[in-house]
Amino acid sequence: NKLRKRVSLDQDENLPKCPEIPPDLGPLDIKFAYNMSLLKIISQNPNLQPGGHSRPKYCTALQKIAIIIPFRNRESHLRTWLYYMHPFLQQQQADYGVYVVEQTEDTLFNRAKLMNVGYSVAIKDYNYTCFIFTDVDIIPMDGRNLFRCSDNPRHMANSVDKFNFKLPYNDIFGGIVAFTKEQFIKVNGFSNVFWGWGGEDDELFQRVVAMGMKVERPDQTIARSKMISHKRDPGNESTGKSFHLIKKAHERLHKDGLNSLIYTIISITSHKLYTKITVDIGNGE
């Protein structure tokens, strides 16, 4: 599907800049009980452009944000995410697009490599300045948890209900992270070699530190978020190799990541609520 148009949203250059802090944000009531149909979500978000894009009507956003979601066989979680997060992002006056990156092969899942693919596709789509990499199953409980980039990479899942709204350990960097384009290039993206569950997030933390940056986190009250409870997916077993890989994180940083990323796009499709990137990322052999 190489004929797909790049994102083209008409921009009125005369609009004032959006405020740093959007108005009227606060706690949200997040319940996972609803049966969310795609049609209902579409009808509740009439201002979306094809591919799941939106930008504020009355002001020019300070950042252009690509949301990257690694995905395989989590349809109901994706519906829940779309149901809550489109209104959330529009309330935050975000200029954004949503990219769902689906691994086709039913070999071991590789979350980190899918993130790199999402970045590489999105960067060609629109002049994004900020990349937010998020699990499909985490929903913020407060609109003041701004989905934005900052002077340093940000970890925004620092207050998840599953971990009693605390950090389970200091270097945790999973769930939701935000990088400017420059920050992401600086760390050479995620590592591509983490197949199966675990470690890829800790490795990314090591990359940030190795490149002289630090991790910022929002206030833990505002950052409260809910994770949909689930079992470990089949095909995402832990291989037990992560620990040893992370020990050599510094050695691999400059040769394993965006600059060594190999993948085959199967299709890129503009749905109403998101852009779906279906990709063959191999199987690690």
Residue type, 215: V
Tell me how far the alpha carbon of residue 67 is from its chain's centroid.
Answer: 5
Catalytic (active site) residue 75: no
Residue 179 pairs with which residues in a beta bridge? Answer: 131
Q: What angle do CA 61, 224, 49 make, to 5 degrees?
A: 35
Catalytic (active site) residue 125: no
Residue 106 as a binder of ligand UD2 (CB under 6 A): the answer is no
Q: Tell me what percent of the chain is helix, strand and coil, each rounded to the nearest 5.
A: 25, 20, 55
Residue 87 as a binder of ligand UD2 (CB under 6 A): the answer is no
Alpha-helical (H) ranges within the chain are: 38-44, 75-91, 111-125, 181-186, 200-210, 242-247, 249-252
Residue 276 pairs with which residues in a beta bridge? Answer: 100, 269
User: Helices then strands (H, E): number in the chain?
Assistant: 7, 10
Choose one: 87-95, 228-236, 243-251, 274-282; the region binding ligand UD2 (CB under 6 A): 228-236
| Residue selected from 111, 113, 154, 181 as contacting ligand UD2 according to rule CB under 6 A | 111
Pick the catalytic residue from 105, 161, 197, 237: 197
Query: What is the size of the binding site for ligand UD2 (CB under 6 A)?
Result: 25
- Rank residues 145 and 183 by Cβ distance to Mn ion and give the closer one: 145
Catalytic (active site) residue 161: no
Q: Which does 53 bind (CB under 5 to 8 A by kind): ligand UD2, Mn ion, none?
A: none
Residue 160 as a binder of ligand UD2 (CB under 6 A): the answer is yes
- Rank residues 51 and 174 by Cβ distance to ligand UD2 and give the closer one: 174
Convert residues 125-144 into a mask of x (bound to ligand UD2 by CB under 6 A) and - (unbound): ----------xxxx------
Catalytic (active site) residue 137: yes
Residue with tokens 């005369």: 14
CB 131 within 8 A of CB 119: yes
Residue 74 as a binder of ligand UD2 (CB under 6 A): the answer is yes
Per CB under 5 A, residues contacting Mn ion are 137
Residue 9, token pair as written in the block: 């949203």
Residues that bind ligand UD2 (CB under 6 A): 69-74, 109, 111, 135-138, 157, 160, 172, 174-175, 197-198, 200-201, 232-233, 235-236
Please give the positions annotated as active site: 135, 137, 197, 200-201, 227, 230, 232
